[in-house]
């Protein structure tokens, strides 16, 4: 019945216009049909049929066309070009407008639509009629005007003229693509969002970061990348199960978004999140935001009667300081996060280069050094020194720092720090006192060697303090040996030389340490009558391995003999090294072969304590 009504209308229209226009209309409709639904293979059939049959039976053509127009899932209408009255509307059209065709046909837009819609429609019609050009709108949004909800449509409206070129009909096709667009949007939303929290996912984060980098390079701004990880989240999962874990994640995500000041928050996976902060924020602001996030996540989370504490750790990398490409920035934010986790949970760390980190570490260590003396964290170890036949002649005092957190810190690490801030003067005096007091208590009057830092020669009154320590401890000056490196003589040479002379005048022996590693050990040998030369252990280590070392050791020994200065070989670890040194007439040795640096109790026998006991037992 509808068909007939529609065919009637169509014929009506064509009666006035002549038969040709019906075909034209059909062609236009099918062309529009083609354009808006290219996928449909039916297209060629339609055309083929239409052309074939037009010659044979125009009526059949019309009916055929009627059926097609009526049934295609695209709204088709035709109206009079002069007064915009609707003269054709197919089923999809009724559906589209939500108005039965009886109420539309023969009426103008004003009579059908609300005023603002009608005026828009009329305006479009007027333009198409005036220009003779089709109006094509792709994926254009129709606000809830006609059917109560917003829709997205593809539409085209075109003018059909009569034989004389006068405007006759307006034919429109409207395809409602709301569903398709919605589906696409949903798919694209799904592709870029995390299902659980609905936050942007990793791929969306990567895209946003790339975009941000591009912009930052153009306008040279800076921005921060935050890498976040929940603390103790695994426990929540383990204790309450995954469904509760999921709810916690959602709650945490909500808090992050609420507190992030509009920054881009993404969930990267598991309990990891990333945040891209706005351009040009200062480090202080980044830090305070990060700390706020840690604070809000640290508050108790209540989900479904489950109360739980999760925490948050954050690592931060800043463009361009900490990286100019996405991979580096993310890796550095992650490495800062790793450090934050290691420093205890709920921490915020900025990325630091190795240099920054070492510097910070040095400062921390230097800070701790100030308390080390008062807190009794220092200890003196003693390493035996022997003649080549193995007879022990004394010990070198070597300092140890037993750090409350780090354990033993090697002197190579903390002595330079103590030299830097002058603490070495106080520390050096302490070692000297300890070593002298210790040695003074030994039944066997062995010698004790103490290392002096160049800084002790420059600052403080070394001569007085040594003098005082000797008096205080009662150690005979002849049992004390001080080891200096050439660093002592660099700088104020004559002052150092004077001091050395005065020490020597007290009866103390002076040894030149680390011989061979400096620049001018030889020339210093001439300027001061050293009592001993200690060949650096690097040469001993390489004895037999490199011919140069062997030659150097030989040369040093030859020179020292010529100057009548006894030589101590440091770092003797093997019998082969000892045998070589003995053959070369080295005088003394020190090294693991004889004994390692140890607390003096380890060497009670050597200093005569056990012997004494036995004697009096
Ligand atoms: P140094 O004066 O050259 O001390 C000898 C270093 O060689 C010691 O390292 C000792 O443990 C190590 N050593 C001894 N025999 C062997 C061996 O056979 N093999 C190997 N591989 N190593 C051996 P330590 O105790 O780590 O001291 C390092 C440096 O720290 C010392 O080098 C010295 O320059 C400085 N130092 C240590 N205690 C003091 C101190 O009380 N005052 C000052 N100013 N410097 C000190
Ligand atoms: Ca030494
Ligand atoms: Ca040495």
Q: Inform me whether the pLDDT recorded for 590 exceeds 70.
A: yes
Secondary structure (3-state) at 383: strand
Which pLDDT score is estimated for 605?
93
Which pLDDT score is estimated for 593?
97
Round to whole Å and give the CA distance between 420 and 340. 29
Measured in Å, residue 593 CA sits from the centre of ligand 1 at: 15
Residue 452 CA: nearest ligand 1 atom is: 44
Which pLDDT score is estimated for 523?
79
Measured in Å, residue 509 CA sits from the centre of ligand 2 at: 13
Q: Inform me whether the pLDDT recorded for 15 exceeds 80.
A: no
Measured in Å, residue 468 CA sits from the centre of ligand 2 at: 22
Q: Inform me whether the pLDDT recorded for 280 exceeds 60.
A: yes
Chain segment 513-537, per-residue pLDDT in tens:
999 887 767 778 888 999 999 999 9
CB 227 within 8 A of CB 332: no
Measured in Å, residue 597 CA sits from the centre of ligand 1 at: 9
Indicate which residue's Cα is closest to atom 3 of ligand 1: 514
Round to whole Å and give the CA distance between 582 and 576. 10
- What is the average per-residue pLDDT within 210-215? 94
Q: Inform me whether the pLDDT recorded for 20 exceeds 70.
A: no
> What pLDDT band is residue 278 in, cutting at 50, 70 and 90?
confident
Measured in Å, residue 410 CA sits from the centre of ligand 1 at: 9
Which pLDDT score is estimated for 44?
44
Listed range (171-185, 276-290, 301-315, 355-369) with the worst mean pLDDT: 301-315
Measured in Å, residue 543 CA sits from the centre of ligand 2 at: 20
Percent of the chain with pLDDT over 70: 87
Q: Inform me whether the pLDDT recorded for 426 exceeds 80.
A: yes
| CATH code for the domain defined by 361-615 | 3.20.20.450
Which pLDDT score is estimated for 263?
94
Ligand 1 residue neighbourhood (C-beta within 6 Å): 383, 398-399, 410-412, 415, 428, 431, 451-453, 483, 513-514, 537, 571-573, 590-592, 597
β pairing state of 151-161 and 167-176:
antiparallel
Q: Is 331 left (phi over 0), alpha (psi -120 to 50) or beta?
A: alpha
75 vs 56 pLDDT, higher one: 75
- What is the average per-residue pLDDT within 131-147? 75
Residues 6+ apart with CB under 8 A from 405: none
Residues 6+ apart with CB under 8 A from 540: 549, 553, 569, 570, 571, 572, 573, 577, 581, 591
CA atoms within 13 A on the CB side of 120: 9
Listed range (154-158, 439-443, 522-526, 530-534) with the worst mean pLDDT: 522-526
Q: Please tell me the pTM assigned to this model.
A: 0.58
Residue 597 CA: nearest ligand 1 atom is: 11
Which pLDDT score is estimated for 11?
43
Which pLDDT score is estimated for 273?
97
Indicate which residue's Cα is closest to atom 41 of ligand 1: 399
Alpha helices in 343-388 (DSSP H): 354-372
Q: Inform me whether the pLDDT recorded for 206 exceeds 70.
A: yes
Chain segment 297-318, per-residue pLDDT in tens:
988 777 666 667 789 999 999 9
Q: Inform me whether the pLDDT recorded for 3 exceeds 70.
A: no
Beta bridge partners of 447: 394
Which pLDDT score is estimated for 347?
93
Residue 419 CA: nearest ligand 1 atom is: 44
Measured in Å, residue 237 CA sits from the centre of ligand 2 at: 57
Chain segment 329-346, per-residue pLDDT in tens:
999 999 999 989 988 888
Residue 514 CA: nearest ligand 1 atom is: 3
CB 433 within 8 A of CB 469: yes
Which pLDDT score is estimated for 35?
42
Among residues 380, 340, 327, 390, which one has the least CA distance to residue 590? 390
How many C-beta atoms lie closer than 10 Å to residue 525's C-beta? Answer: 19
Which pLDDT score is estimated for 29?
58
Measured in Å, residue 382 CA sits from the centre of ligand 2 at: 11
Going 399 to 401 to 407 to 409, the CA torsion angle's sign is negative
The answer, yes or no, to whether the previous bond of 320 is cis (omega within 30 of 0) is yes
Which pLDDT score is estimated for 182?
83
Indicate which residue's Cα is closest to atom 11 of ligand 1: 597
Round to whole Å and give the CA distance between 461 and 419. 16
Indicate which residue's Cα is closest to atom 42 of ligand 1: 451
Q: Inform me whether the pLDDT recorded for 26 exceeds 70.
A: no
Q: Classify domain 188-355 by CATH architecture.
A: 2-Layer Sandwich (3.30)
Which pLDDT score is estimated for 33?
40
Round to whole Å and give the CA distance between 116 and 145. 9
Q: Inform me whether the pLDDT recorded for 5 exceeds 70.
A: no
Measured in Å, residue 556 CA sits from the centre of ligand 3 at: 15
Which pLDDT score is estimated for 388?
96
Secondary structure (3-state) at 87: strand
CB 447 within 8 A of CB 479: yes
Q: How far is CA 209 from CA 257, 319, 432, in A?
A: 18, 11, 60
Percent of the chain with pLDDT over 90: 54
CB 452 within 8 A of CB 512: no
Measured in Å, residue 484 CA sits from the centre of ligand 1 at: 12
Which pLDDT score is estimated for 520?
67
> What pLDDT band is residue 12 in, cutting at 50, 70 and 90?
very low
Indicate which residue's Cα is closest to atom 17 of ligand 1: 571
Q: Which ligand is nearest to the CA of 453?
A: 1
> What pLDDT band is residue 70 in, cutting at 50, 70 and 90?
confident
Measured in Å, residue 562 CA sits from the centre of ligand 2 at: 23
CB 564 within 8 A of CB 557: no
Residue 483 CA: nearest ligand 1 atom is: 2
- What is the average per-residue pLDDT within 311-330? 94
Chain segment 457-483, per-residue pLDDT in tens:
988 799 999 999 999 999 999 999 999
Ligand 1: residue of 432, 451, 514, 572 to mutate (most ligand atoms within 8 A of CB) is 451
Which pLDDT score is estimated for 40?
35
Secondary structure (3-state) at 532: strand
Chain segment 357-404, per-residue pLDDT in tens:
888 888 899 999 999 999 999 999 999 999 999 999 999 999 999 999
Which pLDDT score is estimated for 396?
98
CB 488 within 8 A of CB 454: yes
* Assigned token pair, 38: 């290219």
Which pLDDT score is estimated for 59?
64
Q: Which ligand is nearest to the CA of 573?
A: 1
- What is the average per-residue pLDDT within 22-40? 45
Indicate the CATH number of 2-176 among 3.30.450.20, 3.40.190.10, 3.30.870.10, 2.60.40.1170: 3.30.450.20
Indicate which residue's Cα is closest to atom 21 of ligand 1: 571
Which pLDDT score is estimated for 498?
93
Indicate which residue's Cα is closest to atom 2 of ligand 1: 451
How many C-beta atoms lie closer than 10 Å to residue 493's C-beta? Answer: 12
> What pLDDT band is residue 545 in, cutting at 50, 70 and 90?
confident
Indicate which residue's Cα is closest to atom 12 of ligand 1: 571
> What pLDDT band is residue 97 in, cutting at 50, 70 and 90?
confident
Domain ranges within the chain, ordered by starting residue: 2-176, 188-355, 361-615
- Match 């957190």 to its residue by tokens: 405
Ligand 1: residue of 411, 462, 535 to mutate (most ligand atoms within 8 A of CB) is 411
Ligand 1: residue of 383, 384, 398, 425 to mutate (most ligand atoms within 8 A of CB) is 398
Q: Inform me whether the pLDDT recorded for 7 exceeds 80.
A: no
Q: Which ligand is nearest to the CA of 517?
A: 3
Indicate which residue's Cα is closest to atom 45 of ligand 1: 451
Alpha helices in 37-158 (DSSP H): 42-56, 58-71, 91-97, 101-104, 109-112, 115-131
Chain segment 231-256, per-residue pLDDT in tens:
988 888 888 888 888 988 999 999 99
Phi then psi dihedrals of residue 353, to 5 deg: -75, 165
Measured in Å, residue 570 CA sits from the centre of ligand 1 at: 9
Measured in Å, residue 451 CA sits from the centre of ligand 1 at: 9
Round to whole Å and give the CA distance between 591 and 610. 23
Listed range (71-75, 328-332, 380-384, 569-573) with the worst mean pLDDT: 71-75
CB 224 within 8 A of CB 281: yes
Round to whole Å and give the CA distance between 349 and 343. 9
Q: At what angle are helices 283-298 and 242-259 packed, to 10 degrees?
A: 140
Indicate which residue's Cα is closest to atom 8 of ligand 1: 398
Ranges of beta strands (E only) in 505-590 are: 509-515, 532-535, 567-569, 588-590
Q: Inform me whether the pLDDT recorded for 169 exceeds 70.
A: yes
């Amino acid at each position: 019945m509808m068909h007939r009504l529609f065919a009637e209308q169509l014929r009506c229209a064509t009666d006035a216009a002549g038969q040709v226009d019906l075909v034209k209309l059909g062609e236009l409709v099918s062309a529009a049909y083609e354009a808006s639904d290219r996928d449909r293979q039916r297209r060629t059939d339609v055309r083929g049929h239409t052309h074939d049959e037009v010659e044979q039976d125009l009526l059949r053509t019309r009916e055929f066309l009627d059926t097609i127009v009526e049934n295609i899932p695209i709204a088709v209408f035709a109206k009079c070009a002069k007064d915009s009255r609707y003269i054709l509307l197919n089923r999809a059209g009724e559906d589209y407008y939500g108005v039965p065709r009886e109420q539309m046909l023969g009426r103008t837009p004003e009579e059908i639509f609300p005023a603002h819609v009608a005026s828009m429609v009329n305006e479009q019609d007027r333009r198409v009629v005036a220009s003779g050009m089709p109006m094509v709108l792709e994926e254009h949004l129709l606000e809830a005007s006609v059917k109560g909800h917003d829709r997205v449509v593809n539409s085209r409206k075109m003018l059909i003229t009569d034989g004389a070129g006068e405007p006759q009909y307006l034919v429109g096709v409207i395809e409602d693509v709301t569903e398709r667009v919605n589906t696409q949007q949903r798919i694209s939303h799904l592709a870029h969002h995390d299902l659980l929290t609905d936050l942007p996912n990793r791929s969306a984060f990567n895209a946003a970061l790339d975009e941000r980098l591009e912009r930052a390079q153009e306008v040279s701004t800076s921005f921060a990348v935050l890498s976040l990880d929940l603390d103790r989240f695994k426990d929540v999962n383990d204790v309450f199960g995954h469904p509760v874990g999921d709810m916690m994640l959602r709650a945490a995500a909500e808090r992050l978004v609420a507190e992030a000041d509009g920054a881009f928050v993404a969930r990267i996976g598991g309990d990891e999140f990333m945040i891209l902060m706005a351009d040009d924020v200062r480090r202080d602001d980044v830090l305070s935001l990060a700390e706020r996030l840690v604070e809000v996540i640290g508050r108790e989370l209540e989900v479904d009667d489950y109360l739980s504490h999760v925490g948050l750790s954050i690592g931060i990398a800043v463009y361009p300081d900490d990286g100019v490409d996405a991979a580096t920035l993310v890796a550095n934010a992650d490495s800062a996060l790793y450090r934050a986790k290691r420093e205890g949970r709920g921490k915020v760390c900025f990325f630091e280069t190795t240099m920054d980190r070492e510097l910070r570490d040095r400062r921390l260590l230097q800070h701790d050094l100030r308390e080390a003396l008062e807190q009794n964290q220092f200890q003196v170890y003693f390493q035996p020194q022997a003649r080549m036949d193995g007879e022990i002649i004394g010990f070198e005092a070597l300092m140890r720092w037993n750090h409350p957190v780090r354990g033993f810190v090697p002197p190579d690490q903390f002595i330079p720090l103590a030299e830097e801030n002058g603490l070495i003067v106080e520390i050096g005096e302490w070692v000297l006192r300890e070593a002298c007091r210790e040695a003074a208590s030994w039944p066997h009057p062995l010698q004790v060697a103490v290392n002096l830092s160049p800084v002790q020669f420059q600052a403080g009154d070394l001569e007085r303090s040594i003098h005082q320590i000797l008096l205080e401890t009662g150690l005979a000056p002849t049992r004390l040996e001080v080891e200096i490196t050439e660093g002592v003589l660099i700088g104020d040479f004559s002052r150092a030389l004077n001091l050395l002379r005065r020490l020597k005048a007290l009866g103390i022996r002076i040894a030149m340490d680390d011989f061979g590693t400096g620049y001018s050990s030889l020339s210093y040998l001439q300027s001061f009558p050293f009592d001993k030369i200690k060949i650096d252990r690097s040469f001993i280590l390489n004895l037999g391995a490199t011919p140069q070392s062997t030659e150097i050791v030989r040369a040093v020994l030859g020179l020292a003999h010529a100057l009548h200065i006894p030589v101590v070989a440091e770092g003797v670890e093997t019998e082969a090294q000892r045998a070589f040194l003995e053959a070369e007439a080295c005088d003394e040795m020190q090294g693991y072969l004889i004994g390692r640096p140890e607390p003096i109790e380890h060497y009670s026998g050597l200093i005569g304590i056990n012997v004494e006991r036995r004697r009096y037992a």
